[in-house]
Copies of this chain bind each other. A is one copy, B any other.
Amino acid sequence: MAVHKKEAFTQKEQDLANFAKAIAHPARIAILKVLAQRNECICGEIVEVLPLAQSTVSQHLKELKNAGLINGSVEGPKSCYCINWKAFEKFNAAFGSLFKTLKTNNEKACC
């Protein structure tokens, strides 16, 4: 078997998990950093910075885009990606909310 049972959980839990999964790879964190640095948000330079093949970087970009963490528009030879601050803020809030929820329920560790 091994059918992923993600659909059996809360929408909130799934959303947060998806966000987390998007940044659950050092390459994608590195990509986010590069995107934030370049104000003109033209990439392709990302491939040069990362120790990965072009196709792999493109794949990671796609996943970040699917997760909603970045926006992107392709115009032939050059593409333009940049961080979707709104979604990122939402993620930050969702995680903060979880953290807060956990903490208010039980502040001290018992083992």
The residues of B that contact A107 with a CB separation of less than 8 Å are 85
The residues of B that contact A110 with a CB separation of less than 8 Å are 39-41, 80, 82
The residues of B that contact A41 with a CB separation of less than 8 Å are 106, 110-111
| Contact present for B30 and A9 (CB under 8 Å) | yes
Chain A: interface residue total (CB-CB under 8 A): 56
Enumerate chain A interface residues (CB-CB to B < 8 A): 5-6, 8-10, 13-14, 16-18, 20-21, 23-30, 32-33, 35-41, 51-52, 71-73, 80-85, 88, 92, 95-96, 98-99, 101-103, 105-111
CB distance from A35 to the nearest CB of B (A): 8
Known: A99-B88, A106-B36, A111-B73. A26 touches B21 (CB 8 A): no
Known: A40-B110, A111-B41. A5 touches B105 (CB 8 A): no
| Contact present for A52 and B5 (CB under 8 Å) | yes
| Contact present for B106 and A39 (CB under 8 Å) | yes
| Contact present for A95 and B95 (CB under 8 Å) | yes
Q: How far is the CA of A54 from the CA of B25 in the complex (A)?
A: 28
